[in-house]
Chain A
Amino acid sequence: MDTRTADELHVSQPKTSWMEFIKSHFRDYGMLLSLLAIMLFFQMVTNGTLLRPLNLTNLVLQNSYIVIMALGMLLVIVAGHIDLSVGSIVGFVGGLAAMMMVRWGFDPVTTTIACLIVGGLIGAAQGYWVAYFKVPSFIVTLAGMLVFKGLTLALLGGMSVGPFPVVFQRLSSGFIPDVFGGQGFNYTALFLGMASVAAIIYFSFRSRANQLKHAVETAPFGLFLFKNGLLAVLVIAFCYLMATYRGLPNVLVIMAVLIALYAFVTNRTTIGRRVYALGGNEKAAKLSGIKTERLTFLTFVNMGVLAGLAGLIFAARLNTATPKAGLGFELDVIAAVFIGGASATGGVGKVTGAVIGAFIMGVMNNGMSILGIGIDYQQVIKGLVLLAAVSLDVYNRKK
């Protein structure tokens, strides 16, 4: 029997070196480094087109709806499920928005609210079968995928419907206006960037101070500074580039707020923690007093609302609703979450990972399009990258 006292069992915290820390947290940093490497690669082979302000804006606009859905999909996958219907929901909600505004004469605000509610109801309808009837989510959402693809066609009568009122278009094509009146330079964008950097630095210093106070293992101070400094430089550089064009797109702000919100929910709230426990071991979670059925149900409702939002953004971006909208989006979203390090068996996955995963997919799409690679080989390459990313993750975990 071990006769050491409890105090002796506390292993003293040796000073960890940079390399050791990066090694032991490779999974956290590896993903970000891959994204940076991929960006650098395309920046070079496209002769600098990738990071031009115009293209950067496009990159954000093109990926916003994937990122937004990846946030919901992350929770669904962490809870141990999958949602194949999100692409069809995007199409259906987009079509509904078009019919409401163009044909039935509703105003954009009412339409937006109604469409988000419909998204939530669709999620609820599917979540009900998964959570309370224990029908595998793969089956339920496969059914949902077919049902809503069909309903989109029926709703739109097989035609494209548009264009939308200008206010609604701004959801996707609008930019945060410059309140400082810079000539050809959007100061608001730069200030927003600096404000968020200040906030990020404030919160990371606070949490570091807290961790040190409680003697938790922390990153070496140098690395901590480097990490925050790099992040600050990247964010400000990005905002500067955007400022030289038209400023920050509205969608970018929506997306950033949602990312921050979901990162907070998953890391710091009881409901987030419970979703992870549910996915990690449903039986244990249930026997710990967690209402597993209701939680599963809610993750699907949440997914539905986000898919509805994505549907609105996508329709606004095209300025028309087509029966083919959203086709295949579910695959991009699911791939983003898995590239981001989520486990197919549930219980593991991070918001930051899913977002980075979505941008890895997005940068590749964008870069390959600039290079003029055909859609055929783009798919081949994306498929292989998904396989490579996940096998690398599996390999790392085995070690």
Chain B
Amino acid sequence: MNAILEMRGISKTFPGVKALDNVNITVKAGEIHALVGENGAGKSTLMKVLSGVYPHGSYSGSIIYEGAERRFKGIADSEALGIIIIHQELALVPLLSIAENIFLGNEQAKYGVIDWSLAFSRTKELLKVVGLNESPETLVTNLGVGKQQLVEIAKALSKKVKLLILDEPTASLNEKDSDALLNLLLQFKAQGISSILISHKLNEISKVADAITVLRDGGTVETLDCRIEAVSEDRIIRGMVGRTMEDRYPKRDPKIGETIFQVENWSAYHPIHTHVQVVKDVSLNIRRGEIVGIAGLMGAGRTEFAMSLFGRSYGQNISGRVTLHGHEIDVSTVEKAVSNRIAYATEDRKTYGLVLAEDIRKNVTLANLEGVSKSFVIDDMQELAVANDYRARMRIRSPSVFQEAVNLSGGNQQKVVLSKWLFSDPEILILDEPTRGIDVGAKYEIYTIINRLADAGKGVLMISSEMPELLGMCDRIYVMNEGSLIAEFDIAEASQEKIMHAIVKSGRR
């Protein structure tokens, strides 16, 4: 098999940082090539070099694509040759239709006049290929994330793609949509389209990849060929972190006490469609020192439940009772919820968790400014001491606490969010997808932090779409589907199969 792409000796430096150091990668025609590595290993930078975001001359090394050395000056150059990149954050315009999005910048037009019937019919063909059953006129904003991802792929197909690059395509997809997407990649492979898949989900990689290149600290560690022998997840992790990771979940000896937190008959309705009940009569409890999970598919209502509980941050017409240590508490505003020692760390760090333009110090104290101030005046030095303390304890990697949050990696951002909530001194900590988009090493650290919290006698409620994570971390797991809790498992009896069965069974009702 010939190589469609060969990147040789690629090095790229930013002021003060060597992001890529002599990286080599060879992608054969018609294969699915996975690119793995911890956050900050250089995957995205490498793909930006390839697609021309960093133009020729700003890096050293050479790119050989379809047998000739290429010097891309911008994305337009690489796209013209069929190299299409789909970014983790989707680049669709929400208020335009599927067809308009697919042909954005590449309109089906003659002399500037768009031929809509041609655009629609071509869109229909493309949607059929990617298996999306929607009208071309549907607005993108009305689609779920999974379907939007398919629109992006259809857009790539419309440009006669030869090498498709997907950056974390399944990060926000549920299992079903992820599988559909991976199957699509396999289909493309059969048609001779090559792809580069960047993912943290190693099980998916071992499912579809033909070859795996591992990057670490800006350098190539190794390329594993899956056609010769099956590559295990542990093997990949060993390459990524430079050592074997015996256990992906830190050990913990749970010391569970009495029930401290109870939610009874919690209900909430959709903020716009007032008759749609999104959270249906949810009752649950958490005991001292316990980590309780909520499993479920995307859109099961878990985040909505958590946010409606946390100061009515979601929905309307909310009802139900919350008790902490046997006393009913008022959680009707975020401020009251926080002062009643509830904390909620969001699934969407950048939108809901951090003030990105501000530094670590200011983000850490944001939810508890009273803790570092006297009668409305902030004590700078006390604040600094608090921030330094959390930076050290949570092992936030940055030159100092004056680093702006926007410049931190996903794992470190998550640690800042957790620091913020720990500093508010909660009894009950609700963690919504605490490890989304975080690399393996940082995940382990986050798990360790969560375990420490439980050991300190707090109650932790953990929402996650990754079932192995829930099974590895929790003492008890609730299962949610369509807004209701449909099952509860003690960790001893829980398994991925049982949880899926519960969801499927309730869906059929």
A interface residues (Cβ-Cβ under 8 A, vs B): 1-2, 6-7, 9-11, 207, 210, 213-214, 216-217, 268-271, 273-274, 276-277, 280-281, 283-291, 347-348
Q: Is B335 at the interface (CB under 8 A from chain A)? A: yes
Q: Is B362 engaged at the interface, CB distance under 8 Å to the other chain?
A: yes
- How far does the Cβ of A181 sit from chain B's closest Cβ, in whole Å? 40
Which chain B residue shows the least CB distance to A283?
B352
The residue that A289 contacts in the complex, of B334, B353, B357, with Cβ under 8 A, is: B334
What are 18 A-B pairs at a CB distance below 8 A?
A: A1-B38, A1-B445, A7-B392, A9-B395, A210-B381, A268-B377, A268-B378, A269-B376, A270-B378, A271-B376, A281-B351, A281-B356, A283-B351, A286-B334, A287-B346, A289-B339, A290-B335, A347-B358
Are B362 and A269 closer than 8 Å at their CB atoms? no
Q: Is the CB of A288 within 8 A of B313?
A: no
Residue of A nearest to B395 (CB): A6
Contact assessment for A217 and B402 in the assembled complex, using a CB-CB cutoff below 8 Å: yes
Give the interface SS of chain A, mostly helix, strand, loop or mixed.
helix
Q: Is B501 in contact with chain A by the CB < 8 A criterion?
A: no
Interface contact A285-B397, CB-CB below 8 Å: no
The answer to whether B441 touches A281 (Cβ under 8 A) is no
Given contacts A2-B395, A213-B381, A284-B353, 9 further A-B contacts (CB under 8 A): A1-B444, A9-B397, A217-B400, A273-B366, A277-B355, A277-B362, A281-B351, A281-B355, A288-B367
B134 at the A interface (CB under 8 A): no
Q: Which of B334, B353, B370 contacts A270 (CB 8 A)?
A: B370
Shortest A292–chain B CB gap in Å is 10
Query: How distant is B307 from chain A, measured CB to nearest CB, in Å?
Result: 8
A359 to B409, CA, bound (A): 41
Find the A residue at minimum CB distance from B444: A1
Residues on the B chain within 8 Å of A210, using CB: 380-381
What is the minimal beta-carbon distance from B23 to any residue of chain A, in angstroms? 21
The residue in B334, B337, B399 that gathers the most chain A C-beta atoms within 10 A of its C-beta is: B334
Query: For B76, what are the chain A residues with a Cβ–Cβ distance below 8 Å?
Result: none
A269, B377: Cβ atoms closer than 8 Å: yes
Produce 1/0 per residue, B61-95, CB < 8 A to A.
00000000000000000000000000000000000
B344 in contact (CB, < 8 A): yes
Given A2-B395, A277-B362, A289 contacting B381 (CB threshold 8 A) = no
Shortest CB-to-CB span from B242 to chain A, Å, is: 8
**CB within 8 Å of A: which residues of B?**
38, 241-242, 310-311, 313, 333-335, 337-339, 344, 346, 351-358, 362, 366-367, 369-370, 373, 376-378, 380-381, 384-385, 391-393, 395, 397, 399-400, 402, 420, 424, 441, 444-445
Task: Name the contact of B355 in the complex, choosing from A284, A289, A291 (C-beta under 8 A).
Answer: A284
Q: Which residues of A contact B362 (CB under 8 A)?
A: 273, 276-277
Interface residue from A10, A214, A270, A291 paired with B335 (Cβ < 8 Å) = A291
Are the C-beta atoms of B385 and A214 separated by less than 8 Å? yes
Known: A268-B377, A291-B335. A276 touches B313 (CB 8 A): no
Q: Is the CB of B358 within 8 A of A280?
A: yes
List chain B residues, Cβ under 8 A from A2.
395, 397, 441
The 7 A-B residue pairs whose C-beta atoms are closest, nearest first, are: A1-B441, A280-B355, A6-B392, A288-B367, A289-B338, A289-B335, A270-B369
**A-chain residues with CB within 8 Å of residue B376 when the two chains form the complex:** 269-271
Does A287 lie within 8 Å of B344, measured CB to CB? yes
CA distance in complex: A283, B392 (Å)? 27
Partner of B400, one of A11, A277, A287: A11
B373 close to A270 (CB less than 8 A) = yes
Write out the residue numbers on chain A whose beta carbons fall within 8 Å of the beta carbon of B352: 283-284, 287
Could you tell me the distance between the alpha carbons of A291 and B369 in the complex, rounded to whole angstroms? Answer: 13
B382: nearest residue on chain A (CB-CB)?
A214
Task: With CB as the reference atom, state the residue of chain B lying closest to A345.
Answer: B357
Residues of A close to B395: CB separation below 8 A = 2, 6, 9
Q: How many angstroms from the CA of A338 to the CA of B470 in the assembled complex? A: 49
B241 interface neighbour in A1, A285, A286, Cβ under 8 Å: A1
CA–CA, A347 to B359, complex, Å?
12
Q: Which of A10, A214, A268, A348 contacts B357 (CB 8 A)?
A: A348
CB-based contact A287/B313 at 8 Å? yes
Residues of chain A with a CB closer than 8 A to B358's CB: 276-277, 280, 347
B311 to A289, Cβ gap below 8 A?
yes
* Whole-angstrom CA separation of A287 from B333 in the bound complex: 9
Least Cβ distance of B475 to chain A in Å? Answer: 26
Min C-beta distance of B352 to chain A, whole Å: 5
B344 cross-chain contacts in A, Cβ below 8 A? 287
